[in-house]
Structure 1
Amino acid sequence: MSSVAIIGTGRVGSTVAYSLLYSKHVDELVLIDIYKNLAEGEKLDIGHAAASLETDVRLSSSDKVEDAEGCELIIVTAGYPRKPDMTRMDLLEKNLHIMKELGRKIKEFKYKPVVIVVTNPIDVLAFYLQRKLGFPWGKVIGFGSSLDTARLRFILSQKLGKPVSSIQALVIGEHGEHMVPLFSRVTVEGNKVKLENVHEIREELIGSAARVISLKRGTWFGPAACIKDLVEKIITDSGEVVPVSVNPKGRYGAEGLSIGVPCRVSTEGVTEVVELDLAPLEETWFKEATRYLEEMVKKIR
């Protein structure tokens, strides 16, 4: 069993906390927010849900990041949310200030937890926080490509008229305008499929979050479900391969930045970057994503 801290208890953070009530592997949740009453309110509300679900989970709330010390895993959702007319990268300057303060405090922890960055722009902030904390490689993970993969599977399910459970797909690259769906690896019921209009599907995928935001002012159920899945893979020491954002350290021709790539995860975080053969178009897209993130990383040096 594991203890998990969630820093930022807005819509995404609180929904993640609620989702983790359904995990059999989390026995403590620490909810932290700069607004103490919000964190306390979410703790009480989630506690009532836990009682209804017959879930024995210890809950606490705080407005101090220091109270996350001792947790095996920290999920960072704190930050300014994306608005309908914004890209994720538009949030860099505002959310970088938040990450600087969090990094300063978490760096002092004696126990070095696995940190999952959910705050946008995920790739750049995950790279910044890894460097700020000085944690071992793989301890700081950006979560975005896992969500992009789920969204692609949903889109393909709608287009192909097949159950989403029968579709396997993978998205790597930047969690933003330069995501890289690996269409060459899509399977339906275990069989490879040749997709038409891949450029149009990619554009729909890139715009999927913006569409949700334009309709309901934010996304939280999709992210929370994907974060729960990633948390469980980490804390159960699964060794499974999932797409997350780390510094590939030269693999896929990328280094000195964080970008979504297939990674093997364990209780230590990411333990290995798994290299896959990319189709020519996918390789072109990935190089574009790498060049873009290289430019963005220059802004935080």
Structure 2
Amino acid sequence: MARPKISLIGGGQIGGVLAQLCALRELGDVVLFDIVEGMPQGKMLDIAEVARVDGFDVDLKGTNSYADIAGSNVVIVTAGLPRKPGMSRDDLLGVNAKIMSQVSEGIKEYAPDAFVIIISNPLDAMVTLCQKVTGFPPERVMGQAGVLDSNRFCSFIAWELGVSVRDVNAMVLGGHGDTMVPIIRYANVNGVPVMEQLVRKYGDEAKANEVMTAMVERTKAAGGEVVKLLGNGSAFYSPASSAIAMAEAILRDQKRVLPTCALLQGEFGVDNYYVGVPCVLGAGGVESIIEFSLDEQEQALFDKSVAAVKGLIDELPTILPDLADVLNS
């Protein structure tokens, strides 16, 4: 029985970690593509040479040709410029839209049956662009953001309460940017509401709200915090691990419920826009969207986040006038 094939578009920091994680988990054979000659070949050779130590047995290939992604079951796209200190994800729209349009054409030609997971920023706009250019069914094109943002939120809660992060459940919805929406109401530690635990810890509801607000704001700014500390580049371990969770759910038909940038068609009051919501990921890709009621405040924040996504998408035809008809379809 042939192993699945995973192709990674973009051989930078995230691409290298993705390749290593795919190998360690033996998710399938891996191809790492980049336009820089020698770089993806060198990274894959480096990983392949520790197969015995790490105990994996898959084929690894670095390439500068899109033709080598033929037959891919899953394609993960990281191509594009990373953020620099002081930049928002949205600042990358102009340059990364041009890169994504080229990448999408390559996927469309050589991997027409693949599921596509986008990591490139600004995430929601890049997923939209990829789906429009490839013409793939929306359940096969999705974005990684909510898994990462939700896990960051969970980490901050765990650190604050002094509990294992494995027992914390929390979810972030909306666009992958400054307007993302951490859902406080459902955050819990093995079913016990986080807010109740914070009130018990501090003995004061006002202080508990202050602490939660700080964690929410840190979640929204978490990517920028990493960018500032690194000084040159952006987060790569956490986005890679988050994307691998999505790829594994699809390849192994796990039916995982993961926050995913998916095309909404009426859910949460949004029609025909990609935005982060809880989805069931399995062999069919985005197999369903799990909708639940938002309270008035949550809905207002979600609507604001969707409006920010719409604003970015509205700019795409100006940046890519040759694709205006496709983008407006």
Alignment check: 8 A CA contact 1:173 1:289 kept: yes
Alignment check: 8 A CA contact 1:257 1:297 kept: no
**In 1, Cα distance between the equivalents of 2:22 and 2:286?**
21
1:4 aligns with 2:6: yes
Q: Which residue of 1 aligns with 2:219?
A: 205
Structure 1 runs (4+) deviating above 4 angstroms are: none
Question: Deviation per CA, 1:104-151, whole angstroms, max 9, x where unpaired?
Answer: 222223642000001101111001111111111211111011100010
Q: Which residue of 1 aligns with 2:187?
A: 186
Q: Which residue of 2 aligns with 1:146?
A: 147
Please point out which of 249, 253, 256 is paired with 1:233: 249
**In 2, Cα distance between the equivalents of 1:35 and 1:124?**
25
**In 1, Cα distance between the equivalents of 2:189 and 2:209?**
15
Q: Which runs of 5+ in 2 are unaligned?
A: 196-207, 318-329
**In 2, Cα distance between the equivalents of 1:17 and 1:155?**
28
Q: Which has the higher helix share?
A: 2
Question: What is the number of residues matched between the two proteins?
Answer: 300
Q: Secondary structure at the match of 1:174?
A: coil
Q: Which residue of 2 aligns with 1:167?
A: 168
Question: Deviation per CA, 1:47-87, whole angstroms, max 9, x where unpaired?
Answer: 02323112101011111122111010000011101111100
**In 2, Cα distance between the equivalents of 1:279 and 1:15?**
39
**In 2, Cα distance between the equivalents of 1:199 and 1:65?**
45
**In 1, Cα distance between the equivalents of 2:223 and 2:213?**
17
Q: Which residue of 1 aligns with 2:323?
A: none
Question: Deviation per CA, 1:179-213, whole angstroms, max 9, x where unpaired?
Answer: 11111111113212325234332211111111111
Q: Secondary structure at the match of 2:185?
A: helix
Please point out which of 13, 16, 25 is paired with 2:15: 13
Larger Rg: 2
User: 5 Å matches for 1:1-301?
Assistant: 1-24=3-26, 26-109=27-110, 111-194=112-195, 196-197=209-210, 198-216=212-230, 217=232, 218-301=234-317
RMSD: 1.4
Q: Secondary structure at the match of 1:258?
A: strand
**In 1, Cα distance between the equivalents of 2:235 and 2:28?**
26
**In 1, Cα distance between the equivalents of 2:235 and 2:194?**
30
Alignment check: 8 A CA contact 1:184 1:279 kept: no
Alignment check: 8 A CA contact 2:14 2:236 kept: yes
Alignment check: 8 A CA contact 2:142 2:260 kept: yes
Residue 256 of structure 1, CA deviation = 2.7
**Which amino acid in the other structure matches residue 284 of structure 1?**
A
Q: Secondary structure at the match of 1:21?
A: helix
**In 1, Cα distance between the equivalents of 2:4 and 2:295?**
39
Q: Secondary structure at the match of 2:32?
A: strand
Identical counterparts, % of pairs: 30
Alignment check: 8 A CA contact 2:72 2:111 kept: no
**Which amino acid in the other structure matches residue 187 of structure 1?**
N
**Which amino acid in the other structure matches residue 243 of structure 2?**
I
Residue 281 of structure 1, CA deviation = 2.0
Give the TM-score, by structure 1 length.
0.96
Alignment check: 8 A CA contact 2:4 2:29 kept: yes
**In 2, Cα distance between the equivalents of 1:277 and 1:260?**
15
**Which amino acid in the other structure matches residue 80 of structure 1?**
L
Give the TM-score, by structure 2 length.
0.88
Q: Which runs of 5+ in 1 are unaligned?
A: none
**In 2, Cα distance between the equivalents of 1:151 and 1:65?**
34
Q: Secondary structure at the match of 1:285?
A: helix
Question: Deviation per CA, 1:75-105, whole angstroms, max 9, x where unpaired?
Answer: 0011101111100010010000011111222
